[in-house]
Every structure is written in structure tokens, then in C-alpha cells.
Chain A
Amino acid sequence: MSVTEMFSHIQGFLSADQDIREDIRKVVQMLEQTAREILTVLQSVHQPSGFKEIPSKCARARELFCTVRTTIADLKTKFPMEQYYRFHEHWRFVLQRLVFLATFVVYLETEALVIREEVAKILGIEVVREKGFHLDVEDYLAGVLIMASELSRLAVNSVTSGDYTRPLRISNFINELDSGFRLLNLKNDPLRKRYDGLKYDVKKIEEVVYDLSIRGLTKEAETTGGDK
């Protein structure tokens, strides 16, 4: 094979590759759009009035996750499934955002950490690589860490809105997460960098809990039945 032939052969491969990337980018853009919409819906929980509306906001977010599922189904058709990691970078960011949104919704509903299988189900994807488009464990963990910082914000805002018991519950939850993350041996990678931020979230929430307990506000909440 001559040099010229060889290069045009490779060129053919490269442009095919570029076409795939172009397609993926388009779909990922739609995913990002939906993710932003869900975020906007959920952001209202930080408003004083938002706390009463949590169930309805969650229901609305869950509706939007339907769109996510169809868009991801579309994304799956854009490239050969065994080459997931070749194009991983394109959807990594948005997938982490979606994991965050899904875990946040479930936290607001049940105040528990959603397992990876459940997140995968909400997004309409798989957990194990062999079965197709899946949720990488690092992406899942990154999403959970984004949720942790969102919760530290929620703790602050719930005090402002007069809900004094929520920060205590958030504190327990975050502490549990923190000890979970301590079990991991993280390499010096983006996930590790994000994990390093978790201690500030923990600290923030502990401060809120401190402020409440030193003023006896937690006791008061307990005696009145914990209901705001």
C-alpha cells in the first residue's frame, strides 16, 4: 500500500469518527438543556415557600426525567456500544449533573442516599458495562458529591425559612456519606479533587447545627414534635 493510500485510508476513519462525535454532541446538548430545566425546578426548594412544595417539585422533576430517558435512548444509537469509553468525555459532565439531580430528588423525597442501580433506572441506563450504556462508578460518585454541596446550601436555607430540624437530618446524612467516601482509595484525579471539597460541606453543616443547638433551637423543635 502506498503512503498516499495509507493516509487516505486513515483519513476516512478519522472523518467517520468526527461524524459520530458531531452526532453525540448534538444529543448531549439536548441532555444539558433538560438537566438545566430540572435544576431550575429543584432550585425553588431553597425559597422559603419552596419547602412546602417539595413533593410537587419532585413530581415535576420526575416528569422531566422521562425526557432524559428518551434522549439517552437516542444517544445510545449514535455510536457502537463497545466504544463507550472512547466518547465518554462528551457526556461525562452532563451525566454527573443528571446523577446529582436524580440523587437530589430522591433525597428530598426519602432523605436517603439513592443506590447506583436506582439512579441508573431513573436515567434509563445500565449499571454494568457489559449490558450497554452504563453509569460509571466514578460518575455516580461525582454526582453524589455535587449533591452534598447542594445539601449544605439547603441546610443554611432551611434555617432561614424556620425549619430547624432539617439541618440535623442533613448533618447525619452527610456524615454518613463522608465516612463512606473515606473507605475509598482515590487516586489523584478529578473525583479526588471533588471529594476534597466534601469536608467544607461537612464543616458548613456542622456549623449550622452548632448555631442551632447553642440557641436551643433543636430542642424546641424536638419538643414541638419536630414539625415546622
Chain B
Amino acid sequence: MNRREGEGGSRRNADAAQDREASAQSSSPVIAAFKVFQQELDTKHDKHERLVKISRDVTIESKRTIFLLHRVTSVPNAEDILNEAELKLDAVRQKIGQIAEELRGEDIFQFHRAFTGGIQEYVEAASFLHYIRHRSLISLEEINARLVFMKSEKEDSEGLSGGLSGGQVLTFQVSPSDYLLGVADLTGELMRMCISSVGNGDIDTPFQLSQFLRQIHDGFSYIGNTGPYEVSKKLHVLRQSLGKVEDACYALRVRGSEIPKHMLADVFSSRTTHMEPEEGVV
């Protein structure tokens, strides 16, 4: 019995404890009701924990994909890296499939906080890859279109889906605000890519990137503070990234006309090294 410690002694307490014991019989309707609540809350918390765990995995794998993609600027066979990144993202999508599985029949906003971080990171990785491939912004529809999962027959035979008929379609919808936040993070990656490509003596990419970043920046300014609170916070960082990229382009333009092309790389590799610490702050 859950007798409360540390206040015993007087007869009053003995009486109270007796009363409590009597009233706390499992037959009491209150206790019976709370047993139901216990079960309900535990189920909910367990699901939440599972989702947090999957979301962390999604975050880690997406981050690794982004690091991998940053190598694209410095190697000759970019296609290999892109394919490898594609494979990694497929694995991430499988994990998101697990999230969709957990959320089946649930209100996804009830558990949204558990997985929003992972989803944002995934959007960042997927849109980064898309940009490198196509030089354009992946749309929300394109992202969602890739998050459709078929429940395979094999899983069914193992009874994982609880005896539901095979070939069931599960979808995961990225919410517009998660998409926006992911795209805001993307700009940071693009800034890094810009600086490192300058370092590699690539003259075109920085200009493309600055144009693209400017478009995104304009888009965010258009949304302004109608969006969720986090978006306006990220807008500040976005502005800083854009500033860095524009400065780099400016320097390229000014010095590019003075320094012979083959020496540019040397100029910028020294410049990047002293820009690096700043990045860490952001």
C-alpha cells in the first residue's frame, strides 16, 4: 500500500491510513478508473518515445548524407557521390516509413513534436541533393510524393501489420511548416557549399548559388511573420548566410578581373580559412 512516509505517529495518521487502505481497494471505482488512465497514458508515452528514437535516427542519417554531399565540390566523379547519397536517403525514407507506421490511425499532430526535428533534417538533406542535381528547389509535393510506402507482403506474412491485407499504402505528409524550416536550414548548407566551391576555384557555382539563395530569401521575406515563430528566427540566420555568399560573389567579381584565373583558387583558399570560424558560430 502506498502509505505516505514521514508523517506517521499520531492516531490520526493511523486512521487516515486505514481509511485510505480501505478506499484504495481495487474494487473502488476511482482506482479502477485510474488504472484505465494509467494504461492510456503509458501507451501514449511509449509511442512518443518510439517516435523520438526513430526521429533521432532520421536526424543522424540525414546529417551524414549532407556531409557526404559536401564532398561533391571537391571530387571529380560527383555522380558516384550523388548515387551514394540517394541510397542513404532511401534508408532514411525507410525510417520515416516506420514513423508513418506508428502514426497510422493517430492524429499526427498529437505526436508532431516527437518527430519534427528528424523530418526537418530530412527535408534539408533531400532538398540539398535535389539542388545539386537539378539546381532548383524541391517542392513540398515532390517530397511528399517520395514518402509513400507500400507495406510489403513479406512483412504481412510475419504478422507485423497485425493481419491486414497486403499491399497497403502508407503515406507520410510533411507539414508545410516543417518543409519551410527544412528549407531554411538548407540555405546554411548552400552557403557552405558556395564558400568551399570558391575555394576550389569554381567560378560559376557561387553566382548560381547567390541567385538561388536570393530567391529563397525573397520567398521567406514574402512569408514574413505569418509563418510559425521558428521561421522568423531562422530568417535572421538566412540573412547572414546570404550576406556571406553575396560577399564572396562580390570578391570574385572584383578580383576576378584583376587576377589571372589560375591564381584565383589560391586567393580564395586563404579567404575561406579565415571565414571558417565565423561559420562555427552560426
Contacts and interface: CB of A to CB of B under 8 A. Distances in A.
Partners in one complex: yes
Interface of A: 1-4, 6-11, 13-15, 18, 82-86, 88, 112-113, 115-116, 129, 137-138, 140-141, 171-172, 175-187, 202, 206, 209-210, 213-214
Contact of A185 (B20, B28, B38, B140): B38
B37 A210 contact: no
B226 A15 contact: yes
B30 A180 contact: yes
Given A182-B2, A185-B41, A4 B218 contact: yes
Nearest to B221: A7
Contact of A116 (B33, B42, B110, B140): B33
A175 to B, nearest CB: 5
26 contacts: A3-B212, A3-B215, A3-B216, A3-B219, A6-B140, A6-B219, A7-B220, A10-B176, A10-B180, A11-B222, A11-B226, A14-B177, A14-B226, A18-B226, A84-B109, A112-B29, A138-B41, A175-B19, A176-B30, A179-B24, A182-B2, A183-B37, A184-B38, A184-B41, A185-B42, A210-B12
B33 A137 contact: no
Given A3-B219, A129-B107, A210-B10, A172 B38 contact: no
B270 to A, nearest CB: 33
Given A11-B222, A82-B107, 12 more contacts: A2-B137, A3-B218, A7-B220, A14-B223, A15-B226, A86-B107, A88-B109, A113-B33, A175-B24, A176-B24, A179-B31, A202-B4
A185 B45 contact: yes
Contacts, number: 126
B146 interface: no
B78 to A, nearest CB: 23
B258 interface: no
A180 B33 contact: yes
B23 interface: yes
B221 to A, nearest CB: 9
Contacts of A141: 37
B41 A186 contact: yes
Main secondary structure, interface of B, reads helix
Interface of B: 2, 4, 10, 12, 16, 19-20, 23-24, 28-31, 33-35, 37-38, 40-42, 45, 107-110, 112, 136-137, 139-140, 176-177, 179-180, 212, 215-216, 218-220, 222-223, 226-227
5 closest Cβ pairs, A-B complex: A7-B219, A180-B34, A85-B109, A86-B109, A85-B110
Given A4-B219, A6-B137, A183-B34, A14 B227 contact: yes
Chain A interface helix/strand/loop/mixed: helix
Nearest to A209: B12
B40 A209 contact: no
A8 B139 CA distance: 12
A129 B108 CA distance: 12
A190 to B, nearest CB: 13
A139 to B, nearest CB: 12
Nearest to B223: A11
Nearest to B44: A137
Contacts of A10: 140, 176, 179-180, 223
**Residue from B30, B45, B136, B180 having most chain A Cβ neighbours under 10 A:** B30
Nearest to A179: B24
Given A6-B140, A8-B222, A85-B112, A183 B107 contact: no
Contacts of B41: 137-138, 184-186
Given A11-B222, A210-B10, A172 B19 contact: yes
Contact of B31 (A138, A180, A209): A180
A83 B109 contact: yes
A115 B34 CA distance: 10
